[in-house]
Amino acid sequence: MYFATLISLLPLLASAAVVNKRADSDVGSTTSDVYPPTGTSVNSAVFPGESKVGYPGVTVTGVEPAAIQTAASYPSNDGQSSSYPLVVDQPEDNPSEDIDITKYWGNLSPWYSVPSSSYGLNETSPLAPEGCSVTQVHLLYRHGARYPTSGAAPSTFAAKLANATKQNGGFKASGEIDFLNSWTYKLGAELLTPFGRLQNFELGVSFRQQYGHLLNNFTETSTIPVFRTESQDRMVKTAENFAAGMFGVPEYMDQVNIEIMIEASGVNNTGAPYETCTNSNVPSRGSIGSTAASKFAVNAFNGTIERLQGQIQGVNFTSTDMIAMLQLCSYETDALGYSSFCKLFTKEDFENYEYYYDLSFYYNNGAGSPVAAAQGKGFLSEFVARFTQTAPIADNSVNSTLDNDKTYFPLNQSIYADATHEVILLDTFTALNLSALFSSGPLPVDKRTKSSFKASQVVPFATHLTIQKLSCSDTSPSDQIRFILNDAVLPIDQSYPGCQYNKDGLCSFDTVVSALQKRVAEIDWAYDCHGNYTATPGNDYNGRAPR
């Protein structure tokens, strides 16, 4: 059924990419160190733009930010913050300490560099190890900061306050929350914020700085890279901003093909597999993390509820409201540059907020999920295909129609870049069996505990996984591979049989590819996504459905 739907949309899918005009024939010389290659061109009918592809999703614009008159202080670009030019307060009970509360926001955190020591590698960095050179790079990255999704908790909270103003004379707030008396909801829905655009642009700039030499491959073969994204507006803008950062403006329009894959119900899309994986949103299967997180939150904010409830009449606060207000702290900061909600919460509140997201993502899309590996199987299969330069095995987890066409799925690029959503990134990490992310085991659902898994480190706004293929003079064989997540090099000796501990996270390329091929074979998309079973939080399913 899903392939039938895909085939029915083939005219759009087969042309799902941003138009690239031909490169000027007089650009640079023909030597191997010049990009773009001379005389390259693409067919605009093959790579049309966003307006022709369609399926943009929700596109609601919010109120323009005015942080110059609403923020508590002026942002300083001192190199100490990952969130410039945003302004954030200190926790309510720690005004004198220097705590970066943005690192407690789970998937709503701005991405930040994570040290490799967080995963046990204390003597390495993303730099190529001595004696090694990077010969190929694969980037899987998330869009930058966005407005809330439609119907999310912040808008529900705003509606609750609006309804309260219509009943019994309205509500009256004082003290810390007196700003609620005049507060209005200013956020849009789903689109990138200005800060989100900056994040993806900066990612493109840094990627060009680090891997620009790999463009020589395209010059030598007189080709232009194909980068991919989905049709939701924020996803298209994400890929365009990344490309603009990497290639410049307006040069990127001539120097990269941005393939737009349709994201819509029933369409088989590697970057949005939840559209065809029906168990994804079943409470007893794909969304057990959401249930676990909500259960944890019920008693996690009792002290703050009591404190804030004493400062308002006409509204009764609940744990759901606390999560909504914490999300408003995150979303308003990302969208408007500053939020008065942040200063209402204690350090413990932010720690509980962080754990709320850890639970949700661990059990919805991580090792504790029964559907995560199936949903990540598409990208896993495509990575293996690119590693081996063979088309992916036909399966409902991949866009087999596009992936069998080298125009849309080239197999010989030295640089790949795919944009997707954070849930799919984590699904893919689970499918890749990057076990270092989950090394401390299942998260307790009844109390906060220290864990190797932190959503803010793994799935923040603009998160990115970089897979480096390297040629090393001091190893045998010379071809090596390693995985880098938000600048943290991940150890893979526990992930793949045959890999030994290596201080730089290296393992033989062939050994890893063989292990990944076996992983592809063991993931049962049909059963995990469509089978009848029950999963419960508290287990490590390795992303697979229980039998």
pLDDT digits (tens, 9 = 90+) for 233-252: 999 999 999 999 999 999 89
Model pTM?
Answer: 0.91
Note the pLDDT of residue 288.
98
- Averaged pLDDT score across all residues of the chain: 91
Note the pLDDT of residue 40.
80
Buried residues in 190-211 as b, exposed as e (16+ CB within 10 A)? bbbbebbbbbbbbbbeebbebb
Confidence of residue 336 (pLDDT cuts 50, 70, 90): very high
Average confidence (pLDDT) over 156-172? 91
Torsion of CA 344, 347, 348, 353, to 10 degrees: 70
Instruction: Please state, for a pLDDT cut of 70, what percent of the chain lies above it.
Output: 92
Note the pLDDT of residue 95.
65
Confidence of residue 42 (pLDDT cuts 50, 70, 90): low
CA 258 – CA 255 distance, rounded (Å): 10
- Does the pLDDT of residue 78 top 80, yes or no? no
Angstrom CA distances, 2 to 64, 176, 245, 250, 271, stand at 41, 52, 36, 38, 15
Please compute, for residue 252, the number of CA atoms within 13 A of its CA located in the half-sphere on the CB side.
Answer: 20
- Does the pLDDT of residue 168 top 80, yes or no? no
| Residues 135/468, Cβ–Cβ less than 8 Å | no
- For 537, the enclosing helix (H) or strand (E) is none
Angstrom CA distances, 454 to 112, 131, 360, 438, stand at 12, 33, 11, 9
- Does the pLDDT of residue 319 top 50, yes or no? yes
Amino acid making up residue 268:
N
| Residues 196/146, Cβ–Cβ less than 8 Å | yes
CA 415 – CA 7 distance, rounded (Å): 29
- Does the pLDDT of residue 12 top 50, yes or no? no
Confidence of residue 89 (pLDDT cuts 50, 70, 90): confident
Amino acid making up residue 16:
A
Confidence of residue 417 (pLDDT cuts 50, 70, 90): very high
- Does the pLDDT of residue 173 top 80, yes or no? yes
Confidence of residue 327 (pLDDT cuts 50, 70, 90): very high
Confidence of residue 75 (pLDDT cuts 50, 70, 90): confident
**Domain positions in the chain:** 132-145+194-278+369-530, 149-186+287-352
- Does the pLDDT of residue 27 top 50, yes or no? no
Q: What's phi and psi for 488, nearest 5 deg? A: -90, 120
Helix (H), strand (E), coil (C) string for 279-337: HHHCCCCCCHHHHHHHHHHCCCCHHHHHHHHCCEECCCCCHHHHHHHHHHHHHHHHHHC
Instruction: Please state, for a pLDDT cut of 90, what percent of the chain lies above it.
Output: 79
CATH T-level assignment (fold) for domain 132-145+194-278+369-530: Rossmann fold (3.40.50)
- Does the pLDDT of residue 230 top 90, yes or no? yes
- Does the pLDDT of residue 53 top 60, yes or no? yes
Q: Give the three-class secondary structure for 464.
A: strand
What DSSP character marks residue 185? -
Most confident range (mean pLDDT) of 20-34, 88-102, 478-492 is: 478-492
Note the pLDDT of residue 45.
75
139 contacts: CB under 8 Å, gap ≥ 6: 207, 415, 416, 417, 418, 464, 465, 466, 467
pLDDT digits (tens, 9 = 90+) for 428-460: 999 999 999 999 999 999 999 999 999 999 999
Find the length of the chain. 547
CA 327 – CA 393 distance, rounded (Å): 41
Note the pLDDT of residue 35.
85
Confidence of residue 8 (pLDDT cuts 50, 70, 90): very low
Confidence of residue 120 (pLDDT cuts 50, 70, 90): very high
Within 10 angstroms of residue 283's Cβ, the number of other Cβ atoms is 10
Alpha helices in 212-301 (DSSP H): 216-221, 233-247, 252-255, 288-297
Average confidence (pLDDT) over 243-270? 94
Average confidence (pLDDT) over 15-33? 39
* 464-472 and 415-420 beta bridge pairing: unpaired
Structure tokens at 169: 């004379």
Structure tokens at 480: 């090596």
Note the pLDDT of residue 26.
35
Least confident of 121-130, 258-267, 387-396: 387-396
CA 170 – CA 165 distance, rounded (Å): 4
Note the pLDDT of residue 94.
77
Confidence of residue 80 (pLDDT cuts 50, 70, 90): low
Angstrom CA distances, 52 to 4, 8, 10, 132, 159, stand at 22, 17, 14, 44, 36
CA 465 – CA 104 distance, rounded (Å): 20
pLDDT digits (tens, 9 = 90+) for 350-372: 999 999 999 999 999 999 999 99
Note the pLDDT of residue 1.
34
Only one residue has tokens 């330069």, namely 389
Confidence of residue 41 (pLDDT cuts 50, 70, 90): low
Rg (CA), the chain: 23
